[in-house]
Structure 1
Amino acid sequence: MPHQHQADSTFANPVIPGFYPDPSICRVGDDYYLACSSFEYFPGVPLFHSRDLVHWTQIGNALDRPSQLCLPADLPSSAGIYAPTLRHHDGRFWLIVTDVREGGGNLIVTATDPAGPWSDPVRAPGVPGIDPDLAWDEDGTCWCTVAGVSQVRIDPSTGETYGTPHRLWSGTPGAKAPEAPHLYRIGGYWYLLMAEGGTERGHGVSIARGRRPTGPFEPCPANPILTHRSTDHPIQNTGHADLVQAPDDSWWMVLLGVRPRGGTPGWHVLGRETFLAPVTWADGWPVVGEVPLEAPAPGWPLLPGPVEASRDDFDLNEVRPSWISPRDRPAEHYSTKERSGWLTLRARGGSLDERDVVFAGRRQQHLSCRGRTLVDPASGRGGLAVRLDERHHYEIEASATDVRVIARVGSLRTVVASKPLPTGPTVVLGINITEPPAAHDARTGPDVISLGIGEPDGTFTELATLDGRYLSTEVAGGFTGRVIGMYAAEGTVHFDWFGYEALAP
């Protein structure tokens, strides 16, 4: 793992690319574990493992059973599961997270192995607000701190709280959205780390310290200790951070950020991603180093991104933990057993416009990439899609008679192109996503998305090329990023394999 605080010359960001926001990290021995928000997707709260803070592998999801997470069909996009805190205490892993739907509240799950299984949730109705944090003091008392910022004593094994929540410190006066608090005992102080300024371009990280976990807290004179607001740094919206100490006693920060592309105002399409920065200490305060973006020097072995097969042949009893679906994934609609070596999707909603659509996808993790799938649509209608939410998606769809490209942007839905189904019961559907070579003017979008058919000789026939800005957060709003995957809109549709590949920019 990196031992020196020269991270800008030894690794590249993001360390977990794609829609993996709100990172929370803990270390046990030489192993690091990290959890992220999942919003309306099931399974919820992806979990990662690393030995060096740079190479991360997804090992599971904390909420992967209906008994743990049952999101309703009418749940809006960008609602659902927000801002986990992952901690290890007294031989167990503890994860507290917010279900923001009405009646959801804050819930706690535990595990002895972070790969799972995790317990069914314990509800904490006495914890107000979102973005909950857990911290234990020397006598074993556990404190739960939430956005705002307020705090209450809690028994995390039962969810019972004691006393009235009390206000702590709410960051810079006048700064909006004090959130994502994390409390740490470091040396002789308790440190309260938090995000402020909103999760858009004004996002930042500030910190305060006090002698007791309940305060009072004095703010760091150098606040915000991290922000890229009003800069031309290629990483923006930096915030929602967590601290971790390495075995060599060095300190590091994980945080979310985005990579805007194109002209003005800049569009980010992958959602908020997980970045890494080195931390040093001066006069009892953390000093955050550069959040590097560029690739390391030639020959350096550390590269960003989770290790994941580029092709899935659906030959396991269950899909890999990186596959996600909107709101739920009932066995009667998703199966790798019905047709051996195929993913079978049985339609429910009639299109990707519907909240109960049957869709299985993986996060887009590279600015330039391509996806392919072999589909048998003889008994239904479905295809391959790039999804941001129900009102913003592009797809190439096959039926027993034809193939067509559909674009949904806001209230507009249109069939962009169509052609008869090529000869044979199956067809390869493909999506290419490529960055423009440069921002030619202020209106140049972040990328272009081409949808088409894979030919038997391996070539790709484009049916339509669409502007990628309309599948961006700056256009659609919300907190998520693009997901690429397969769906069924009518009847039963079978998919033999899915391939994802990064492309050179």
Structure 2
Amino acid sequence: MSAVHAAAMTNPVIPGFHPDPTICRAGEDYYLACSSFAYFPGVPIFHSRDLVNWTQIGNALERPSQLRLPLTGSFSGGVYAPTLRHHDGRFWLITTNVDDGGTLLFTAKDPAGPWSDPIRVPGVTGIDPDLAWDDDGTCWCTYAGIRQVRLDPETGHTFGEPRRLWSGTPGALAPEGPRLYRIGGFWYLLIAEGGTERGHSVSVARGPSPRGPFEPCPANPILTHRGTDRPIQNTGHGDLVEGPDGSWWMVLLGVRPRGGTPGWHVLGRETFLAPVRWEDGWPVIGEVTPALDVPWPPHPVPAPPVRDDFDQEELHPRWLSLRNRHPEECTTAERPGWLTLHARGGSLEEPDVTFMGRRQQHLSCRTRTLVDPADGIGGLCVLQDERHHYEIEATGTEVRVTARVGSLHTTPATRVVAPGPVILRIDALANKGGGDARAEPDILELGVEDEDGAFTVLAMLDGRYLSTEVAGGFTGRVIGMYATAGTVRFDWLDYEPAD
């Protein structure tokens, strides 16, 4: 394998907070979607030609009419576990908005969008809905439980009472994330179970029809890393896809814990890829490792820019806001070449805070921004949720570092600065392994940078407190810009991986 080839074959294939992946193929093109929870826009959509190199081409839910997220909801509310399918010349996406009436179905001719307004499916009352069509065109929706009901996807109407298909492995926690496929002479029912933490796993059953009866695989679970010291943990919530060459693959979620015991993962649940082979009519999942080998040349895609100068009226689809995004409060039109944020909420703890960020996708990275606080207060933050975040903010004559960890709220450092724009910087420095069993997963350095690039660190903070193991919930770190008073403008943001 050449050096270029080897460099392209890395796991996770979509790093950072991209959980619950679902995949489909149309011709030689693969499309993938993920959960987005309380972030707006929702459900990122990716494209690939080789399953390894992915480009975000949009977000399925980018209009308020598609995605309603109340201010009273938590970061781990909102949009859960979609399923993406290509059928009869259209793309179909079904998901659950737990804060807005449950199951929603969307369609598009082009997965890059635009996607339709939602078709509501009140007859599906559980999370993690799946879509599958049998030979006569009947559509079946299977969801966490594991339950199934016949569905008219054009109207959202369901027929009859849902029936339980299979309860999964006896004693296993939380059978969910079902995927139903017709492969050869069988219908296969793939599920996640064991919870989405260290006990996560994938099991499978098969039957003669989409309604079963289903016979469990004797080798269940067919995928789990529980009880191991592998660098990738929490493996589960898989989706199968067949390549044009007849090979089979699984996308799944996993995490990369760092530091000492018990290990902390800070990027959230990420999207990984694993090979699949078939033995005696059952799928066998290959190793989920940091390095991949695929039997075809890669199709490299341009690396995403590390810097956004906010010169375009439309924001790149990678940018996220919390619950909604009001154009009058988050705009590049007001001051050309700058992102202008007008404050709503007065702190990052408030649900209506004005925020725009991007997922942290590398264990070590550097993020910088040039901020003009003008008559406002705002800055750069690392956000796990409203109760777990670190930030460095400018007030016009002062820069200060603040930290919120649960009920603890502190300001460990301040510095007087000259009025006007200032460069704020946050470096995430991953623990390289070894040392004390209580070692942190990473250190976050927050400070200011001068015109010559010299970095003055004002605070060094333990990264474990911005991890899922501490904060709980389903989201990962997002790094971004915010305003908590008045008007704050940002000339650029530069995110550079340092792994």
- What residue is the counterpart of 1:166 in the other structure? 163
Q: Classify the secondary structure of the residue corresponding to 1:290.
A: coil
Contact 2:8 2:300 in 1 (8 A): no
Which one of the candidate residues 218, 226, 229 is aligned to 1:229? 226
Cα shift at 1:433: 0.3
Cα shift at 1:331: 1.0
Cα separation, partners in 2 of 1:326 and 1:246, compared to 1, 3 Å: same
Cα shift at 1:496: 0.3
TM value normalised by structure 1: 0.96
- What residue is the counterpart of 1:284 in the other structure? 281
Output the CA distance in 1 between the equivalents of 2:351 and 2:7.
44
Instruction: Name the amino acid aligned to 2:136.
Output: D
Structure 1 residue runs without a partner (length 5+): none
- What residue is the counterpart of 2:256 in the other structure? 259
Cα shift at 1:10: 7.8
Output the CA distance in 2 between the equivalents of 1:436 and 1:284.
43
Cα shift at 1:438: 2.5
Output the CA distance in 1 between the equivalents of 2:299 and 2:461.
31
Report whether the alignment pairs 1:365 with 2:357.
Answer: no
Cα shift at 1:439: 3.2
Output the CA distance in 2 between the equivalents of 1:458 and 1:75.
40
Which one of the candidate residues 303, 327, 336 is aligned to 2:332? 336
Q: Classify the secondary structure of the residue corresponding to 1:86.
A: strand
Output the CA distance in 1 between the equivalents of 2:484 and 2:280.
60
- What residue is the counterpart of 1:454 in the other structure? 449
Q: Residue deviations 1:125-177, cap 9 Å, x none?
A: 00120000000001000000000100000011110000110000111011010
- What residue is the counterpart of 1:143 in the other structure? 140
Cα shift at 1:26: 0.1
- What residue is the counterpart of 1:72 in the other structure? 70
Report whether the alignment pairs 1:478 with 2:476.
Answer: no
Alignment coverage as a number of residue pairs: 495
Cα separation, partners in 2 of 1:9 and 1:250, compared to 1, 3 Å: farther
Instruction: Name the amino acid aligned to 1:496.
Output: D
Contact 1:30 1:51 in 2 (8 A): yes
Cα shift at 1:237: 0.2
RMSD of the TM alignment (CA)?
A: 1.8
Cα separation, partners in 2 of 1:302 and 1:431, compared to 1, 3 Å: farther
Cα separation, partners in 2 of 1:411 and 1:317, compared to 1, 3 Å: same
Output the CA distance in 2 between the equivalents of 1:92 and 1:309.
31
- What residue is the counterpart of 2:205 in the other structure? 208
- What residue is the counterpart of 1:156 in the other structure? 153
Cα separation, partners in 2 of 1:8 and 1:230, compared to 1, 3 Å: farther
Q: Residue deviations 1:252-279, cap 9 Å, x none?
A: 0000000000000000000000000000
Q: Residue deviations 1:287-334, cap 9 Å, x none?
A: 10011114879xx98699983110000111121100001111111210
Cα separation, partners in 2 of 1:10 and 1:357, compared to 1, 3 Å: closer
- What residue is the counterpart of 2:39 in the other structure? 41
Aligned ranges for residues 272-311 of structure 1 at < 5 Å? 272-294=269-291, 307-311=303-307
Output the CA distance in 2 between the equivalents of 1:303 and 1:259.
26
Aligned ranges for residues 419-430 of structure 1 at < 5 Å? 419-421=415-417, 423-430=418-425
TM value normalised by structure 2: 0.97
Cα separation, partners in 2 of 1:294 and 1:429, compared to 1, 3 Å: same
Contact 2:50 2:298 in 1 (8 A): no
Cα shift at 1:58: 0.3
Which one of the candidate residues 194, 214, 218 is aligned to 2:215? 218
Cα shift at 1:424: 4.7
Cα shift at 1:458: 1.0
Contact 1:16 1:304 in 2 (8 A): no
Contact 2:258 2:431 in 1 (8 A): no
Aligned residues: percent identity? 70
Stretch moving more, 118-127 or 438-447: 438-447
Stretch moving more, 59-68 or 69-78: 69-78
Cα separation, partners in 2 of 1:446 and 1:113, compared to 1, 3 Å: same
Q: Classify the secondary structure of the residue corresponding to 2:145.
A: coil
Q: Classify the secondary structure of the residue corresponding to 1:329.
A: coil
Report whether the alignment pairs 1:28 with 2:26.
Answer: yes
